[in-house]
Amino acid sequence: MMWPVVLYVSVWLFRIYLVRSALRGPRFHGPDWCFDCRVPPGFYEREGRDILRALRLRILAPLPFETAIGAVLWWDGHWIAALAVQAFVYIAAPFYHAAVLRGQARRAWQYAIFDEPPASGVAVSLSPRRLADYAQPWLERTLTGAITVSVILLAVAFTHPDPHENLTTMVFGPCVALYACLGLALLKRAIVSWRISVTPAVQPELFTEWQDSCRRLFAMMCDYLRTETVSALLGWSVLQAWPTLWHWRSYVMLGPVLSVCLLGAIPLFLAERRLLPLTRNLKAVTSRWRPSAAPPPEGRFYLLGRVCSEPEEDQVLVRGPRGMALNTASRRTRLYMAYLAGWPALVVVMLMSRV
C-alpha cells in the first residue's frame, strides 16, 4: 500500500518544517537580533555561538530516536503504530520547541542592548476569548459531516461477511485519526486561551494586533491538519465499506489528502506572509523598549521551579522563578496530560492486538 507511506512522509515533511522554523528562530528578525532582543554587533561570533549550538543540539536530538522507532515499526509491519507515534510527536513538538526556544531566549537577554530606560507594561483586556471567534462555521460543519459519514461507512463495513478478518487495521486506523483530531482540537483551544502577560508600553495596539494574528495563524494550522486527517479517514472508510474499490485506493485515499494538502496550504502561506511585515514593524517600534522588573512569582515551586500547584489559577503554564512552570492543579493541565498519556496506551493496544 502506497498511501500509508505517502501519509507518513507528509507528516515527516511537516516535522522537518517545524524543525527548520525552530532553528531559524534566533535570527528571525535579522542579524542584529537574537530571538526577541537586540544584541551587539558580532554577537553570533562570540556569545551567541554557544546559544546556537545548544539550540541545534536540543532541537535535533529527538530526530534519530524518532527515525529509529519508525523504522522498527515499519520493518515489523506495524505501520499504523508508526503513524500514531509520528502523529504524537508532531503534536508534542511545538510544545517542546517552545520550551527550548524560551530557555535559549532567556540566555540571550543577558546580552541585550537598550537605548531607553525601563518602562512598565500597560493594562490589557483579560476578557476570555471565544473559540468560535477563531473558527470557520462552514469548515466545522464539513468536518463534522465527514466524520459522521466515516463512522456510518465503517458500520456498513462490519455488515460484510467475515468482517473480523482484518479487524485491527479496520478499527485502529480510524481510532488513531479520531484521536489525532481530538488532540488538534485541544491544541487549538489552548492556543486561543493562551496569554502573554507582558505587553510593551510602546505601541500596545500594534502588539495586540500582532498577537491576535499569530493566534489566528496557529489556529489555521490546527484546522489544516484536522482537515487532512479527516480526509484520510473518509477515504479509508470508503475503502472498508466497498472493498471492490481497493484497486482504486491510490485515488480514493491520496486524491482528497493531496488536494487538501495543496489547496489548504494557500491560505496558510498568505496568512504567514501578512504576518511577517507586521512582526518586523513591531520589532522596529519596540526595539528600544525595556520591560520593568517583574515582581517575584508567588506560590510554591518544585523540580527546579518548573512545576507548581496553584488551584486558583486555571492556566496550564504560569510564571515561575525560572520562566514558565507547569500548573498541575489546573483542570486543563490534567486534561492535556490525560490526552498525552492516551497515545502510548493506544500504541500498546495496537501492538498487542497484532501478537
pTM of the model: 0.70
| pLDDT for res 148 | 93
**117: pLDDT strictly greater than 80:** no
Cβ(118)–Cβ(290) below 8 Å: yes
The candidate with the shortest Cα–Cα distance to 180, out of 87, 83, 79, 80, is 87
Region 52-62: what's the mean pLDDT?
Answer: 90
Q: How far apart are the first and last CA of the chain?
A: 21
Query: How are beta strands 290-291 and 118-119 bridged, if at all?
Result: parallel
**Residue type (1 letter), 324:** M
The residue ranking higher by pLDDT, 92 or 29, is: 92
| pLDDT for res 126 | 53
Instruction: Report the range of poorest mean pLDDT among 1-10, 36-45, 220-229.
Output: 1-10
For residue 122, the SS3 value is: coil
| pLDDT for res 298 | 67
pLDDT digits (tens, 9 = 90+) for 314-339: 777 777 776 677 888 888 888 888 88
Region 230-259: what's the mean pLDDT?
Answer: 78
| pLDDT for res 198 | 55
The CA–CA distances, whole Å, from 70 to 63, 94, 170, 183, 344 equal 11, 20, 21, 21, 14
| pLDDT for res 118 | 47
Each domain of the chain, given as residue ranges in start order, spans 1-113, 130-288, 295-355
**25: pLDDT strictly greater than 50:** yes
Eight-class DSSP state of 128 = P
The candidate with the shortest Cα–Cα distance to 254, out of 275, 231, 287, 282, is 231
Confidence bin at 57 (pLDDT 50/70/90)? very high
pLDDT digits (tens, 9 = 90+) for 152-206: 988 888 777 665 555 666 777 788 888 888 988 888 888 888 765 555 556 677 7
| pLDDT for res 145 | 92
The residue ranking higher by pLDDT, 225 or 128, is: 225
Cβ(249)–Cβ(3) below 8 Å: yes
pLDDT digits (tens, 9 = 90+) for 135-148: 888 888 999 999 99
For residue 1, the SS3 value is: coil
**Residue type (1 letter), 243:** P
pLDDT digits (tens, 9 = 90+) for 270-325: 887 888 777 777 665 555 555 555 566 667 787 777 788 887 777 777 777 766 77
Helix (H) or strand (E) holding 121: none
pLDDT digits (tens, 9 = 90+) for 81-90: 787 787 778 7
**Grid coordinates given for 301:** 515551586
